[in-house]
Every structure is written in C-alpha cells, then in structure tokens.
Copies of this chain bind each other. A is one copy, B any other.
Amino acid sequence: MSDIAFLSELSTASSSKMVLLVLDGLGGLPHPDSGLTELETANTPNLDRLARESACGLVHAIGPGITPGSGPAHMALFGYDPVRFEVGRGVLSALGVGLELGPEDLAARVNFCSVEGGVITDRRAGRISTETNARLCEKLADITVEGVEAVIRPEKEHRAALVFRGAGLSELITDTDPQRTGVAPLRCQALPEGGEAAERAAAMVNAYLDRVAEVLADEHPANMIVTRGFAKLPHIPRITDLYGIRAADVATYPMYRAVGKLVGMEPVETGPSFSDQLDALGGAWEDYDYFFVHYKYTDSRGEDGDFDAKVACIEEVDGLVPRLSALGPDVLVVTGDHSTPALLAGHSWHPSPLLLRSRWERGDGVEAFGETACASGCLGIFPAVDLLPLMLANAQRLNKFGA
C-alpha cells in the first residue's frame, strides 16, 4: 500500500517520537572464507540486543532484482514510491550544495574534466581539490547566456552543481558527458519528445559550454566541464503536510540533506562524526516527531570493496547505539537504503536487513542483526515504501480504515 493520499487520510496526532537510522549500503554478501556478510561478521552486541527486542525483516527499495541509487532508495524509506516520484540527478546535486530550486529552474550534475586536442583525457581532471573546484566555479560565476542566469556551485573534488534560472526550459535534453575518454565532449541535444522548449534549452546549454571553454582555456588540468542528469524539481508533497509530523534530517552528506529537504524535512546542524550526529539528535529531540539519521561510511567502504573497513564502520555505529536508545524513541528503525556488498564494490539489488523496535510490535525469535537472521523475521520481505506506514502505526499516528 504505497498510496500517500490514502495514508495521509488516516494520519492522526500523537506525541510519540520516531527515529529512522539508515546505515547507507548496510546489506552485504557473504565473505567466501566465512560465509558471513559484513554485518554478520561485525561484533554488534548492541544491534543484536535491539534485534532481539524488535520485529525484523528484509526491505527492498524498489523491487526484487532492482539496484537503486541513493536518491530513490531514500525516497522509498520516506514513504514515496520512488518510480512515481523520480528525482533527477541534477536536482539532487543542486539541493545538495544548498541551492534553492524554483519550479522553472533546470539543474545538472557537472564534472570538471581535462581536454587535450579536442578530446577528453580525464573525466575527473585528476580529481582536482575541492579548493581548486571552488576557485574555478568563481571564475565561471559571471557567465550569462541569452539572458539566462547560470549558477555553478562546487561539490567535492571534481564535481559541481549547475542551475539555469530560466522560465520555459525543458529537461528533455541529453548529457554532454560521453562517460569515456578519447572522445570530444558531446553537444547537448533536444530529445524529440521535448519539442521547442528542449531545442531552446539545448542551444542555451551549448552556448554556456562554449563560454566555459573560453573562460577555462588557460587552466590545467581542469580546462572544461561535462554535464549530465538535467532535471527540474518534481512536485513532491511535504511529509509534514501529509502526516502532520515535524521531521528532522540529521545527515552529514549534502545528497542526504537534499533528499530530506525535498520531502519537507528540516536540516539539523551537526558535526561530521556519528557521535556529533547523536549530539545533534539529542539537541533537537524536543522539537521534532520524526528523525532521519544517516550514516554514510558503510556505503563508502562497500564501494571501496573493503570488507574489513565496512565491518569496522558497522562496529563504530554499534558502539554508539546505546546513546540512541537512551533517548527513548517510541519507534526505532535501523536499516540500510540498499545493499553495497564489498564483494561487488557497488550498490546491489539485495534487500536490506531491518529492525523495528516499538512496544507495539511482535517478536520473532531473531537473535542477531544480520541478513540471514532478518530473512526469518516477522516483517518478512517487503518494499521500503511500506516502512513509513509501519512506523506511523507503531507511533499510534494512524487511524483505523473503515468501521
């Protein structure tokens, strides 16, 4: 049941508190030597105790076999069908660096790159420093094409976000990033279904990129940019309006602050460590009903293919779980947005282990927090979009349907 209007109709007030702790890319695959996943390998006495006190299960972001990006995976955990509410990469980038987006703005993801003799020699310009990136964005700040303002803002290393502030631009245009070296950056083209608005947008993008090439001509190694994921802000109803809950976003990475913002969460100031995030959580405890706490490094170490480092990240979180429990949330969920097995060194389709602790849940005999243990949990294997109804129900924030 993923219909947010239906769910919104049923929602009612309560003073209960809900916490969703997402360990990014938590799920894994068994190590060939031990047959145990990263989570099953980690020494996690606190998460295991929680699992024993919880209803457990496995959750997939989109569906069996489908590997999600972080954007759609989080949209699903927040209760939004991620295919219906698809958020473009450009939008996530722009919101992630703190750019405000209006409904007519067109956003894209940018890479600084190296071009020699007309062809791309490095799609990441040698991973230039974030400082260099900021200086280059400064140089590009004055470019205006055909009356349209172009805002470019640095992300980490070679990545940046680009927004065109203009009315009537279509997002139905192609990437200029060829996704490989040895060829020229592509020209932006209108997709046939985009009509005249796409033709204008593509022409404007190309004019902008020509200006960028002139301004960066003397730079080295970052003398050009490539763009991808052109997108406009989709219409997404706010979680507060839907369910009457004040939602706080305790994430450190821009991307996860961006997704939270998109659904109407308020960002809470926090330092970079998980301990800092728990401080921030405690500080905001009285002001919100729902808290999204995001831990990034399980995913990062999985992407690195570093099994042991991912294990260590999980153990770091486990050590601090008692501070989270001590706040006394009425509903506490610990899960991942998707799996990032070290063996695959990337996102995967495997469902994420999940525990939900509340005084109103059944137990299920799950003795430890792990993929295999959660497979026999009483929540079964379910789509992530069903998590929010489960949390709201346990928070006693949903009325009965029908008489």
- Chain A contacts to B: CB under 8 angstroms: 1, 3, 6, 10, 29-30, 35, 37, 58, 62-73, 82-83, 86-87, 89, 92, 109, 229, 343-344, 346-350, 360-365, 371-372, 375-382, 386, 388-394, 398-403
Contact = CB atoms under 8 A, between A and B. Distances in A.
A399 B336 CA distance: 20
Contact of A66 (B347, B380, B381, B398): B398
The 7 closest A-B pairs by CB, nearest first: A1-B63, A65-B389, A69-B402, A380-B381, A65-B393, A72-B402, A89-B403
Given A362-B29, A364-B375, A372-B365, A68 B1 contact: no
A360 B68 contact: no
A386 B375 CA distance: 18
Contact of A372 (B109, B349, B372, B378): B378
Given A30-B362, A348-B360, A382 B64 contact: yes
Most chain B beta carbons < 10 A, residue from A390, A399, A401: A401
A64 B375 contact: no
A67 B364 contact: no
B360 A67 contact: no
Contact of A403 (B10, B70, B386): B70
Contacts of A398: 65-67, 349
21 contacts: A1-B64, A1-B66, A6-B83, A29-B360, A58-B380, A65-B391, A66-B393, A66-B401, A69-B401, A82-B401, A86-B402, A87-B402, A344-B360, A349-B398, A364-B372, A372-B378, A375-B376, A375-B378, A375-B380, A376-B376, A379-B381
